[in-house]
Amino acid sequence: MKENNSIYAGIDGCKAGWIIVKHVDGNYEFGIWERIEELVHANEDVRRFLIDIPIGLGSLSHPRTIDQTLRRELGKRGSTVFNAPVREAVYAENYAEAKAKNLSVEGKSISIQSFNICSKIKEVDEFLIQNNTIEMIESHPELCFKYLNGGEVVLSKKSTPEGVEERLNILNQYDSSISLLFKKILSETQRKQAKKDDILDAICLCLVNYLANEKLCFLTDENLFDEKAIDMKIAYFAPSK
């Protein structure tokens, strides 16, 4: 593995809040925090975070279209991508209000699945608005796995043992310690805190972040930032580039 003294991290949402995996001096560390602010303050040594959550929220003047672009990138796995609610919907008091807000801005409602993650989207949005010097970038594990897999979308479902094994095998090609790391985190956490796929995704984003270093790639489209001047882009690493 290459030498790199900077500390990079991957974050995924989980039942207990947020799980972080970070690469420190050739080793990996992990932790679970209830709030994103607590996580960042407890990991002030991290140079850059990749996180699996929508960053850069749509509005009437600044639509978010990157989700459609991502869906096309993932082809048959495009169903793993949901349209992020607009900012007004994210800050709504309840599901009915969120649907109405989204409909008024985008002309379409939102699913209950999208609404259920609004609290986490809002949490990160509020944090980044107040802490705009923190380098926290949206990423998507399935996009990362695609490019770590030579540009081929991984079609197995991450919720199955076969899907987990296939993805671990991909990550192990870049760092042979990943399977042991996955087992360690599994053994030292509870499933009521973080599911297997939460752990796998956080590991993936950490590894991608570290491997990329200064060569992080971004999926973008014509709408580059939102009304708060927050970038709308999705990070990944393409080893062949």
Q: Distance between the two ends of the chain, CA-based, in angstroms?
A: 18
Listed in order, strand segments (DSSP E) in 25-77 are: 27-33, 48-51
Separation between Cα atoms, residue 5 and residue 8, nearest integer Å: 9
Residue 131 has φ and ψ, to the nearest 5°, of: -135, 65
pLDDT (tens digit, 9 = 90+) per residue, 196-207?
999 999 999 999
pTM: predicted TM-score of the whole model, two decimal places: 0.96
Contact 121, 85 (CB under 8 A): yes
Residues in the chain: 241
Helix (H) or strand (E) holding 167: helix 161-172
pLDDT (tens digit, 9 = 90+) per residue, 101-154?
999 999 999 999 899 999 999 999 999 999 999 999 999 999 999 999 999 999
Residue 206's contacts (CB-CB under 8 Å, 6 or more residues apart) are: 8, 9, 10, 21, 22, 23, 28, 50
DSSP string across 80-104: G--PPPPHHHHT-SSHHHHHHHHHH
What one-character DSSP code corresponds to residue 184?
H
What is the layout of strands, in order, in the sheet containing 17-24? Answer: 27-33, 17-24, 8-14, 48-51, 136-138
* pLDDT score recorded for residue 4: 61
Residue 225's contacts (CB-CB under 8 Å, 6 or more residues apart) are: 56, 62, 231, 232
HSE-up of 73 (CA within 13 Å, CB side)?
Answer: 23
Intervals of the chain under pLDDT 70: 1-4
